Structure 1
């Protein structure tokens, strides 16, 4: 089901506000190299899931999750003030696996293409 225009606006504003807080106000080193990639919001606007990615591996993801949980109250207070909502959605944080998946697929494609070139070169040499 398609989200309402209001939900889309709130989703976009939450993304803006949280990304801004990360770059300006949150000093937690666990969140230093974190990028907000998206926000999903429940139909009743009660839960906002904020997706993030990190440049490092699983340990950095776990650390970032802990950093977000630690900063959740701060983020929610500032977001509520910025958004001016009567009810601020509960914030949940989740690592965005789509970038990792894309990187793995790109690596596999490169391997297949390299193998193809190797086979083409071998075929040309045998002719």
Structure 2
């Protein structure tokens, strides 16, 4: 019988909260302070976690550089994460840029500009 909340989802939520806290407070790289963890997807066996992040920058080169730095620091983050969360095995982390926030912001700007043009007419 299936329960209401899947274990992988609970672990993903736990990792998302802990990673957001770690990136904000414990990491020395200032670029990580501009990172928001938008979601975490964990494999069924809890061995790998794909961490979706958005970055508060507009330049694609800086965004790619920040995500690359996150992936380089993944082992260190995993070590710190193991101290924060109570899991037998902490999953390997892979950081991926989440474009949905930037895309939504662009659509919102387009809607706002269309509304302004409509009011002027």
Q: Which TM-score band applies after superposition, normalised by the shorter structure?
A: 0.7 to 0.9
The TM-score with structure 1 as length reference comes to 0.80
Q: CA deviation at 1:4?
A: 5.0
Is the 1:49–1:91 contact (alpha carbons within 8 Å) kept by the matching residues of 2?
yes
- The answer for the alignment partner of 2:19 in structure 1 is 18
Count of residue pairs brought into register by the alignment: 117
Q: How does 1:76-91 map to 2 (within 5 A)?
A: 76-91=78-93
Q: State the alpha-carbon separation in 2 of the partners of residues 78 and 4 from structure 1.
A: 26
Q: State the alpha-carbon separation in 2 of the partners of residues 11 and 48 from structure 1.
A: 8
Q: Which runs of 5+ in 1 are unaligned?
A: 120-127
Is the 2:24–2:32 contact (alpha carbons within 8 Å) kept by the matching residues of 1?
no
Q: CA deviation at 1:71?
A: 1.4
SS of residue paired to 1:14: helix
Greater Rg over alpha carbons, structure: 1
Deviations 1:28-67 (A, max 9, x none): 1231311212111122322211111111121221121122
Question: Greater helix share, 1 or 2?
Answer: 1
RMSD: 1.8
